[in-house]
Amino acid sequence: DAGVIQSPRHEVTEMGQEVTLRCKPISGHDYLFWYRQTMMRGLELLIYFNNNVPIDDSGMPEDRFSAKMPNASFSTLKIQPSEPRDSAVYFCASGKRGEKLFFGSGTQLSVL
Amino acid sequence: KQEVTQIPAALSVPEGENLVLNCSFTDSAIYNLQWFRQDPGKGLTSLLLIQSSQREQTSGRLNASLDKSSGRSTLYIAASQPGDSATYLCAVRPSTAGNKLTFGGGTRVLVKP
């Protein structure tokens, strides 16, 4: 398996623009997580899905953030409109309950 | 609310020395605990997973122990090498419903040749 695949690897955009981050989890994994990592706040869980259903989105900062998982092999995290404070590395991770979690390589987002 | 702490935040050792990394958590009602490694600009790689019923897990030069009652885990890396330089994070999963991990802030390790 190729592991968790995220795209794009880097994204530079201007404030106010819409940003869409993509994730393909490992086949067979029924949990998918979106994390954000910054120097100041470390790793923060934004939202996670179980069997394509959002279970906990309490970490989503505000209404500008939305996430979808239309099927077991694809998820998106959308920011609209983007702001400079959204600049961070966004990670997608997948796993099975009680087992190791596998992370993608992340998307480095810079909002100017 | 579960809080996970890793002290120190950074550590520098000469090559060959054993590494001891600490992780503490406030709520002992955990399902399991994982140790991860993160290289600069990369994602996290799971190193070891310890179930709440276990006391330790070993993989090669790595050994992780878990003392649930005192809220502590320790990662030992024997005979450190420059290639072990990275940030090490621990994360706990609650025993309640759900599959949410709470991460510590990590310990940045530098192994000097």
Higher pLDDT, A12 or B96: A12
Q: Pick the residue of B99, B101, B107, B108 with the most A CBs within 10 A to test the interface with A by mutation.
A: B99
**Cβ–Cβ contact B34 with A under 8 A:** yes
Is residue B97 over pLDDT 90? no
Q: What is the pLDDT of residue B35?
A: 97
What are B79's two structure tokens? 């005979």
**Nearest in space to A89 (alpha carbons), one of B46, B38, B85, B6:** B38
Mean pLDDT of B45-71: 95
**Which 8-state DSSP code applies to residue A86?**
G
> pLDDT (tens digit, 9 = 90+) per residue, A36-87?
999 888 899 999 999 999 999 999 988 999 999 999 999 999 999 999 999 9
Contact B43 A91 (CB under 8 A): yes
Q: What is the pLDDT of residue B19?
A: 96
